Copies of this chain bind each other. A is one copy, B any other.
Amino acid sequence: MATETGITTRSQDYSQWYLDVIREGQLADYSPVKGSMVLRPNGFALWDAIKNDLDRRFRDTGHVNAYFPLFIPMEFLSKEAQHVDGFAKECAVVTHHRLRAVVDENGKARCEPDPEAKLEEPLIVRPTSETIIWHMYGKWISSWRDLPLLINQWANVVRWEMKTRPFLRTAEFLWQEGHTAHATSQEAVEEAERMLGVYGDFAREFCAIPVIEGIKSANERFAGAVETYTIEAMMQNGWALQAGTSHFLGQNFAKAFDVRYQTEAGQHEYVWATSWGVSTRMVGAVIMTHSDDAGLVLPPRMAPTQVVIVPIWKSDDEKTRLIDAGRALLATLKAAGIRAHLDDRDTLKPGAKYYEWERKGVPLRMELGPRDLDKGQAFCAKRTGGGKFGLPLGDAAAVQATLDAIQAELLERALAWREARTHRVSSYAEFKTRLEADGGFFLVPWHDDGANEERIKDETKATIRCYPLAWQAEAEGQSCFFSGRPANRMALFAKAY
């Protein structure tokens, strides 16, 4: 279905469409290491944009960055009982620290791990850093004066995955992990909820993704957490994608690594913890929320190139005049802080340029022909569609207003899409029928029960994405759609990535 130059349509094959959009946008490529992807410049630029915006939000809420080792002693993973179950299964294990050259039976030289360079204790490539960070916190925290400790790390992590999908699930991925230490349970809960809010605002304001904030059910909680908060987004096929999580870890890691502090009153208490993370998965969420059958669509705030200027000439005289005008427009836009690019290549015709920038997701194209120039305007096309329109050449504010409108349009469109596909059902039979027929999100009254949750998952592949914070009050007085018992939660069910 996919061809070297074409993009499969979403209705034909949503999974293949996703891979085609990534290939045509030159966002990522497969690597010779199974499960690891290469982030090509266009794809890395999206992660970089996410990183810069999130980092500013972390600083604004009082956090600082640090860097902890890639390797974790094997024994650390077993210190927190649930944590080892969650992560030991799927990690990369370093056992040697040297290769040696050997000659095989055919006289050919090759390398192998040097048996004389075997590590006494194997090392794990971090799947997440709670253990090593809490080991260090034990050295740094002794008094109430050392708290709160609000540290974030930008890093690569590895979780061995067999079935991989670019951005969504890869053995190695990039992320940030915040790890905070607090004097009281209340402060730590507030921190976990604050960062959930930061993630929600970031997703809506920067990525134009209308996420739902909620609490994970016990079955879906992070290994080692007391409570896991999540932001959940709906993709265009109606599936959910968990786009960020924030955990209240209680005193689990403080106890596992014996991290206590002296209170103002002189007592020794275990420290309270949170951790929270967003990864390159967010790039996948952006692609699947906004893109269309013509390729990538990017929200202007996130787009590395927000505006592309395409001069259109027929003669050499025209060419000089139009490229000069394009340069002037470029300078005007750049001076106003707009990320613009002038495509003055003479190896491609205008139509081919449109096609290329379309699939690279540039939000606004400004065409500059001789007649446009005479009128002192550019002829504009929004990547989100609609008719073409003129914008005066000297007016950077009008261009910025157009970009702002595209940003708002993408968020509204995604919200409308989600609302049209969020269903309320009152029985399990109806749930199964509609899930099969329409897919999407199901907001239902629910009586907490891990076994029932498991049964629904086995039968329908749908899971509880979260207990959405905004709708909890509605549970009052209702019956669980599955068990008929009094509902104590409103639950959001969906199939998920």
Q: Is A125 an interface residue when CB atoms closer than 8 A count as contact?
A: yes
Nearest-CB distance from A86 to chain B (Å)? 12
What is the count of identical protomers in the complex?
2
Looking at A32, A123, A158, A172, the one whose CB has the most chain B CB atoms below 10 A away is: A32
Q: Is A151 an interface residue when CB atoms closer than 8 A count as contact?
A: yes
Q: Is the CB of B101 within 8 A of A91?
A: no
Q: Is the CB of A98 within 8 A of B109?
A: no
Looking at A125, A132, A145, A347, the one whose CB has the most chain B CB atoms below 10 A away is: A125
Which of A72-80, A377-385, A402-410 sits within the interface? A72-80
Q: Provide the residues of chain B in CB contact with A110, threshold 8 Å.
A: 75, 78
Which of A35-43, A182-190, A198-206 sits within the interface? A35-43
Q: Provide the residues of chain B in CB contact with A67, threshold 8 Å.
A: 38-39, 44, 47, 174
Looking at A91, A111, A112, the one whose CB has the most chain B CB atoms below 10 A away is: A111
Looking at A37, A69, A112, A113, the one whose CB has the most chain B CB atoms below 10 A away is: A69
Looking at A33, A122, A145, A347, the one whose CB has the most chain B CB atoms below 10 A away is: A33
Nearest CB in chain B to that of A153: its residue: B44
Q: State A151–B44 Cα separation when bound (angstroms).
A: 11
Q: Provide the residues of chain B in CB contact with A90, threshold 8 Å.
A: 97-98
Nearest CB in chain B to that of A40: its residue: B66
Q: Is the CB of B111 within 8 A of A88?
A: yes
Q: Is A389 an interface residue when CB atoms closer than 8 A count as contact?
A: no
Q: Is the CB of B93 within 8 A of A160?
A: no
Q: Provide the residues of chain B in CB contact with A267, threshold 8 Å.
A: none
Q: Is A135 an interface residue when CB atoms closer than 8 A count as contact?
A: yes
Nearest CB in chain B to that of A99: its residue: B88
Q: State A427–B32 Cα separation when bound (angstroms).
A: 54
Q: State A78–B101 Cα separation when bound (angstroms).
A: 9
Q: Is A68 an interface residue when CB atoms closer than 8 A count as contact?
A: yes
Interface string of A276-317 (1 = CB under 8 A from B): 000000000000000000000000000000000000000000
Out of B33, B94, B139, which one reaches A93, CB within 8 Å? B94
Q: Is A136 an interface residue when CB atoms closer than 8 A count as contact?
A: yes
Q: Is A124 an interface residue when CB atoms closer than 8 A count as contact?
A: yes
Nearest CB in chain B to that of A158: its residue: B70
Q: Is the CB of A70 within 8 A of B156?
A: yes
Find residues 94-148 in chain A having any chain B CB closer than 8 Å to their own CB: 94-101, 109-113, 122-125, 132, 135-136, 139-140, 145
Known A-B contacts A29-B136, A84-B111, A99-B74; the reply to A65 vs B93 at CB < 8 A is no
Q: Is A31 an interface residue when CB atoms closer than 8 A count as contact?
A: yes
Nearest-CB distance from A394 to chain B (Å)? 27
Nearest-CB distance from A68 to chain B (Å)? 5
Q: Is A471 an interface residue when CB atoms closer than 8 A count as contact?
A: no
Place the interface of chain A in its size category.
35 or more
Find residues 423-462 in chain A having any chain B CB closer than 8 Å to their own CB: none
Q: Is A89 an interface residue when CB atoms closer than 8 A count as contact?
A: yes
Q: Is the CB of B111 within 8 A of A69?
A: no
Interface string of A454-478 (1 = CB under 8 A from B): 0000000000000000000000000
Q: Provide the residues of chain B in CB contact with A97, threshold 8 Å.
A: 90-93, 160
Find residues 12-37 in chain A having any chain B CB closer than 8 Å to their own CB: 29, 31-33, 36-37
Find residues 52-71 in chain A having any chain B CB closer than 8 Å to their own CB: 64-71
Q: Is A223 an interface residue when CB atoms closer than 8 A count as contact?
A: no
Q: Is A45 an interface residue when CB atoms closer than 8 A count as contact?
A: yes
Q: Is the CB of B124 within 8 A of A99?
A: yes
Q: Is A48 an interface residue when CB atoms closer than 8 A count as contact?
A: yes
Nearest CB in chain B to that of A87: its residue: B99
Q: Is the CB of B109 within 8 A of A78?
A: yes
Q: State A141–B122 Cα separation when bound (angstroms).
A: 39
Q: Is the CB of A98 within 8 A of B41?
A: no
Q: Is the CB of B72 within 8 A of A101?
A: no
Q: Provide the residues of chain B in CB contact with A36, threshold 8 Å.
A: 69-71
Looking at A67, A75, A112, the one whose CB has the most chain B CB atoms below 10 A away is: A67
Q: State A99–B93 Cα separation when bound (angstroms).
A: 8
Out of B64, B68, B92, B99, which one reaches A38, CB within 8 Å? B68
Q: State A48–B152 Cα separation when bound (angstroms).
A: 13
Nearest-CB distance from A344 to chain B (Å)? 15
Closest 5 CB pairs of A and B: A36-B69, A39-B67, A93-B96, A41-B64, A88-B99
Other A-B pairs beyond A33-B73, A88-B111, 16, CB < 8 Å: A29-B139, A32-B132, A37-B69, A39-B67, A39-B68, A44-B67, A45-B64, A69-B172, A74-B112, A88-B98, A88-B99, A93-B96, A93-B97, A93-B98, A95-B113, A113-B122
A-B CB contact pairs (8 Å), 17 listed: A29-B136, A31-B68, A33-B73, A36-B69, A38-B66, A38-B136, A70-B156, A71-B92, A74-B99, A77-B99, A88-B101, A92-B97, A93-B97, A93-B113, A94-B94, A94-B95, A155-B156
